[in-house]
Amino acid sequence: MQSARRDARARAVMTALPIRIAALYQFARLDDPVAIKPGLQASMESNGVRGTLLLAREGINGTIAGSDDAIEAVLDHVRTLPGCAMIEVKESRAATMPFHRTKVRLKKEIVTMGQPDLDPLAGVGTYVAPEDWNALISDPDTILIDTRNDYEVQIGTFAGAIDPETRSFREFPDWFRAKRDEIEAEGRSPRIAMFCTGGIRCEKSTAFARAEGVKEVFHLKGGILNYLEHVPEAESLWQGECFVFDERVSVGHGLKPGDHALCRACRRPLSAEDMTHEHFEEGVSCHRCWDERTGDQRARYAERQRQEMLAEARGAEHVGRREEADTDD
């Protein structure tokens, strides 16, 4: 009886939320990403799957969306790639397609840290399951670090986490070295726990910390998304929402879509209060990017927004719509 009820609930969710979203990454040694790209692109296109996948010699990373059968077909293709048979995939669902394009991009790194000699396959930190994470980060001897960029941290993080205030993951190594020196100057031997959205940045950040000589390094297996999926809200130490790189913008516990919107000019998340600011204009600017753009740029954004609204009124997709941000930085 309980099994039948679960199956009925699952069917109801699939009907209400027909789009399957798969966030995936795998560090693997891909000797020829250029040769891999056409087949992967064809698999996505032939199955009507949208989103972005990044390919590099160090592996694959990205988020894709489509029907259940379509996503399974693309994942089957991905699993045939060298070292990707057991690829990590985190799934959620949406009522509408969260991506506009289908892209496979070649990159130097699948998550850009700017440390070309770092090999995550050689030694990352110790994985910590979501159900064990609270105990680790509640220990006063644990130094908890959020490895994401500043605009991600602003809308949600774990209680007590240090925000490096980085605008790019490339800034993290210099920040970490300075922070480690500060901690050691206090006479402390650092025991570090790190976390990120889906786990990929922590593969590199913990490998980097270990390469720098830090012995006790831990990270949240599967990232924030895995935690929000499996840890009940009543037991959670997460505060706020988690930024995601698609049209959902943010998610909360149970991976339910959050309340944030997106600034189409700078791709930063916006709260309801942010959208009441005098410098917010849909598709054109927000208070965070107003001083970063020129008047000419804002005029172009305004025209783009106007064309998108006209296309939407016709039931079409505007060809000039801004592409989704990559998830590698």
Q: Which residue numbers are catalytic? A: 196
Secondary structure letter of residue 47 according to DSSP: T
H or E, element range at 74: helix 68-78
DSSP codes joined into one string, 266-280:
T--EE-TTGGGSTT-
DSSP codes joined into one string, 80-142:
TSTT-TT-EEEEEEESS---S-EEEEE-S-SS--S-TT--GGG---EEE-HHHHHHHHHSTTE
Determine the longest span between alpha carbons in the chain, in angstroms. Answer: 65
CA–CA gap between residue 306 and residue 312 (Å, rounded)? 10
Cα 325 to the center of its chain, rounded Å:
10
How many other C-beta atoms can be found within 10 angstroms of the C-beta atom of residue 264?
18
H or E, element range at 145: strand 142-146
Length of the chain equals 329
Mapping DSSP onto H, E and C, the string for 13-29 reads: HHHHCCEEEEEEEEECC
C-alpha atoms less than 13 angstroms from C-alpha of 212 in its C-beta half-sphere: 23
Cα 4 to the center of its chain, rounded Å:
34
